[in-house]
């Protein structure tokens, strides 16, 4: 019991020193920093903004063969207005031609006279197709679904990134727990060294025990250093996921706490409703169906209104027509109905139908995979919880056995090899418990992820 008191005092001092020298990284800190700093999550958030930018009535429209992709076009919810001031056939500005005119009165003849003309023709044109087979409304719905899909894809990115960060985080806690048990063994090993030395001096011990206690003491020190290396590696990995410098030092809690209990039927219902991979597949099918309607709308006529105002003035330096001025407006209806376009629309509809079929099969495959992941995580979570209870009992019994073995060795009722065997059994039990806690937490994280609840 004295050894246990020594170790408790040692741990209190160690924790007090660690709090002063290191910042404690809590679970809430890991989640917050990961979501705020990780580059993959930031890129996914930018994709949401792009989808939101595209989801506006000004970009709705498309040509006959595009299926309403966001590219502008001849139809849309907003009219198209343009200002023109000339064309290649009738440019603005100054022109000169060589003119020869013959009249009945020879005195009026013009022979190779340079004719300079000035042409001004600005115009404004507006066109609005108010009916395009309802394609513009379908396109708006598709853009809404695309924005919703970008939000789901963002949550998928957050889930995957957060799972990696939490895996490294809980691995650090598991290693820290094992180091803690090794330090207890180190404290006990120091006591056994002193006891072996005392026995040798009093003539009741042997030099073999003295050497063996030193070897075992060194071995425990090596194990602690090896585990410290693993702890440092996980710290660097976690800093990388948090997008912080690798040398940022921090500490983690001492224990792993389970936050849920396995319940399969409720989890299965949550998977159908909330699993982000399934939701993404369903949203993709909705987009496919709307795209198919867009292609079919290309078979319908397009009806709209158009109007323009034109002002044109032409002046010539010589000739009978010295100035020509035209201005005015026109307004009316326009109709465009493509009856044959080399089967482009027909081919697009057939290809989109095949794409829709493929995405339905992908969705079914995703459902099977995600429900399989849920069932695997559920069984693993359930079994690991039972393993933890067994390992806790093993640690308690190993702790009692270690105390008894230490007393027997101290009283000379057993040799050091017997004591060391019991001590090794205690270390193994502590290691198994730390690994069981880590494995159980991973099962719980995957159990939550399959339900779409990890981000929540």
**Percent of the chain clearing pLDDT 70 (strictly above):** 83
What pLDDT does 6 receive?
Answer: 45
**CATH H superfamily, domain 2-61+132-301+340-450:** Outer membrane efflux proteins (OEP) (1.20.1600.10)
Per residue in 202-260, pLDDT (tens digit) is: 877 778 888 888 888 999 999 999 999 999 999 999 999 999 999 999 999 988 999 89
Q: What distance in Å separates the CA atoms of residue 35 and residue 288, rounded to the nearest whole number?
A: 31
416-450 and 135-202 are packed helices; what angle lies between their axes, rounded to 10 degrees? 170
pLDDT band at 17 (very low <50, low <70, confident <90, very high): very low
Q: Could you state, in order of their start, the residue ranges of all structural domains in the chain?
A: 2-61+132-301+340-450
Per residue in 145-194, pLDDT (tens digit) is: 999 999 999 999 999 999 999 999 999 999 999 999 899 888 888 888 88
Please check the confidence at residue 70 and state whether its pLDDT lies above 50: no
What pLDDT does 89 receive?
Answer: 53
pTM: 0.78
Per residue in 79-136, pLDDT (tens digit) is: 777 887 765 555 655 555 666 767 777 766 666 666 666 676 778 888 888 888 888 8
What pLDDT does 12 receive?
Answer: 42
- Beta strands 110-120 and 93-101 are antiparallel
Least confident of 104-108, 296-300, 377-381: 104-108
Picking from 179, 180, 175, 177, the residue whose alpha carbon sits closest to that of residue 233 is 175
**Percent of the chain clearing pLDDT 90 (strictly above):** 48
Helix (H) or strand (E) holding 399: helix 344-410
Per residue in 20-56, pLDDT (tens digit) is: 446 899 999 999 999 999 999 999 999 999 998 888 8
Q: What distance in Å separates the CA atoms of residue 317 and residue 118, rounded to the nearest whole number?
A: 9
Q: What distance in Å separates the CA atoms of residue 450 and residue 456, rounded to the nearest whole number?
A: 12
């Amino acid at each position: 019991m004295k050894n246990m008191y020594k170790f408790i005092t040692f741990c209190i001092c160690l924790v007090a020193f660690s709090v002063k020298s290191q910042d404690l990284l809590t679970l809430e800190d890991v989640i917050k920093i990961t979501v705020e700093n990780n580059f993959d999550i930031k890129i996914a958030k930018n994709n949401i903004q792009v989808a939101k930018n595209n989801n506006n009535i000004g970009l709705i429209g498309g040509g006959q063969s595009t299926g309403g992709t966001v590219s502008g076009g001849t139809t849309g919810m907003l009219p198209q207005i343009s200002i023109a001031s000339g064309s290649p056939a009738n440019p603005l500005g100054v022109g000169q031609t060589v003119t020869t005119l013959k009249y009945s009165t020879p005195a009026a003849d013009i022979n190779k006279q340079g004719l300079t003309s000035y042409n001004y023709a600005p115009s404004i044109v507006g066109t609005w197709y108010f009916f395009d087979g309802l394609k513009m409304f379908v396109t708006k719905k598709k853009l809404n679904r695309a924005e919703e899909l970008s939000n789901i894809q963002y949550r998928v990115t957050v889930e995957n990134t957060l799972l990696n960060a939490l895996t490294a985080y809980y691995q650090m806690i598991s290693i820290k727990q094992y180091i803690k048990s090794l330090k207890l063994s180190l404290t006990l090993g120091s006591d056994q060294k002193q006891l072996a030395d005392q026995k040798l001096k009093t003539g009741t011990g042997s030099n073999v025990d003295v050497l063996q206690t030193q070897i075992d003491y060194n071995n425990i020190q090596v194990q602690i250093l090896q585990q410290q290396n693993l702890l440092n590696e996980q710290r660097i990995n976690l800093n990388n996921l948090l997008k912080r410098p690798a040398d940022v030092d921090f500490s983690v809690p001492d224990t792993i706490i389970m936050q849920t209990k396995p319940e399969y039927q409720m989890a299965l219902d949550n998977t159908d409703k909330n699993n982000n991979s399934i939701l993404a597949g369903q949203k993709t099918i909705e987009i496919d169906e709307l795209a198919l309607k867009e292609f079919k709308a290309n078979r319908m006529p397009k009806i709209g209104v158009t109007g323009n105002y034109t002002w044109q003035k032409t002046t010539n330096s010589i000739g009978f027509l010295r100035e020509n001025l035209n201005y005015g407006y026109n307004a009316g209806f326009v109709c465009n109905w493509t009856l044959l376009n080399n089967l482009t629309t027909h081919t697009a509809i057939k290809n989109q139908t095949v794409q829709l079929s493929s995405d339905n099969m992908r969705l079914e495959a995703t459902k099977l995979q995600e429900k399989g992941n849920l069932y695997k995580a559920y069984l693993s979570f359930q079994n690991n919880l039972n393993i933890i209870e067994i390992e806790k009992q093993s640690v308690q019994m190993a702790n009692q056995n270690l105390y008894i073995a230490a007393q027997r060795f101290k009283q000379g009722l057993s040799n050091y090899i017997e004591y060391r065997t019991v001590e090794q059994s205690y270390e193994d039990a502590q290691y198994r418990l730390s690994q069981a806690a880590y494995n159980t937490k991973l099962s719980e994280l995957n159990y939550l992820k399959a339900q779409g609840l990890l981000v929540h």
